[in-house]
């Protein structure tokens, strides 16, 4: 079990909020993925949360073993999707026992960055069948006029609470390059590497965006007083400057590769 200081565990404190506010994924993404898989594929899902992608895996006939590190998140997933085709294990993907060469796919949506760089390739290489698919979904915020300037305008508010953007700027829509692509491109155990992109903007009311922020690990790990101030100020900012509604410009990527 991770410690309370482990950022992965912070989602567990907001399972109900996470379930209510986190978006699903483009149906075309699953159409493409399942065209690569055999009928009724056996899939390990890494970091399923409360089932935002699990539901689509089950709908398309998969048998899913979902490995979720947060007990409350796992409990919500079980209650959301009671199914004989779903096994939910509370634990760390890199440590949970899974039979070698037993899986048709390892799948993860907006969670694989929590796996260590070595484990991202080594673990699938051990548990996938030859020809099995590693499929990683990333949700990428992009620089787009679709946000009507919100994310530039709101940065001073984030910075006031020590939460300003760090790292490279958001890419343009046609410049999204998920980190898993580079890792797999250098690993000879995997072949047929492809990246598919899907525009997937999400629009939020001021209150809904506040809830979205509460579903983030970085917000959950703030001191309570600071977190309350940040959420209050951003909700007020959206109400007063953006008419109570903003759009988050997103590109969802699906990176796939097969085990040689």
Q: What is the pLDDT of residues 162-212, one digit of tens each?
A: 999 988 999 999 999 999 999 999 999 999 999 999 999 999 999 999 999
For the record, the structure tokens of 116 come out as 């260590």
Partnered with residue 109 across adjacent β-strands are: 137
**Do the bridges between strand 103-109 and strand 42-46 make them parallel or antiparallel, or are there none, so unpaired?**
parallel
Q: Is 159 exposed, middle or buried (0-12, 13-18, 19+ CB in 10 A)?
A: exposed
Q: Please provide the DSSP assignment of 112-143 as one string.
A: GGGS-HHHHHHHHHHHEEEEEEEEEEEEEE--
* DSSP label of 249: -
Looking up tokens 């070595």 gives 118
Q: Is the pLDDT of residue 1 over 60?
A: no
Instruction: Give the global pTM.
Output: 0.95
> Phi and psi at residue 190, in whole multiples of 5°?
-120, 145
pLDDT digits (tens, 9 = 90+) for 50-93: 999 999 999 999 999 999 999 999 999 999 999 999 999 999 99
Question: Domains in the chain and their CATH numbers?
Answer: 7-143+170-203+249-259 (3.40.50.150)
């Amino acid at each position: 079990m991770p410690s309370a200081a482990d950022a992965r565990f912070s989602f567990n404190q907001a399972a109900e909020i996470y379930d209510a506010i986190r978006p699903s994924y483009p149906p075309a993404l699953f159409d493409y993925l399942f065209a690569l898989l055999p009928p009724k594929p056996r899939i390990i899902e890494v970091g399923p949360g409360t089932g935002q992608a699990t539901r689509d895996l089950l709908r398309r006939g998969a048998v899913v073993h979902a490995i979720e590190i947060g007990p409350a998140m796992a409990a919500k997933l079980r209650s959301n999707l009671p199914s004989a085709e779903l096994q939910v294990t509370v634990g760390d993907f890199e440590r949970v026992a899974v039979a070698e060469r037993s899986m048709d796919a390892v799948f993860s949506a907006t969670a694989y960055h929590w796996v260590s760089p070595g484990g991202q390739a080594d673990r699938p290489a051990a548990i996938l069948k030859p020809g099995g698919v590693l499929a990683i979904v990333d949700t990428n915020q992009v620089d787009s006029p679709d946000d009507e300037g919100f994310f530039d305008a709101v940065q001073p508010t984030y910075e006031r609470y020590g939460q300003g953007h760090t790292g490279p700027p958001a890419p343009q829509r046609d410049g999204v390059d998920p980190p898993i692509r580079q890792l797999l491109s250098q690993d000879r155990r995997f072949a047929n590497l492809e990246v598919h992109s899907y525009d997937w903007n999400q629009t939020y009311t001021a209150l809904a965006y506040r809830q979205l922020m509460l579903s983030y690990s970085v917000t959950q790990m703030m001191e309570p007083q600071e977190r309350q101030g940040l959420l209050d100020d951003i909700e007020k900012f959206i109400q007063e400057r953006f008419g109570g509604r903003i759009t988050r410009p997103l590109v969802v990527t699906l990176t796939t590769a097969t085990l040689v």
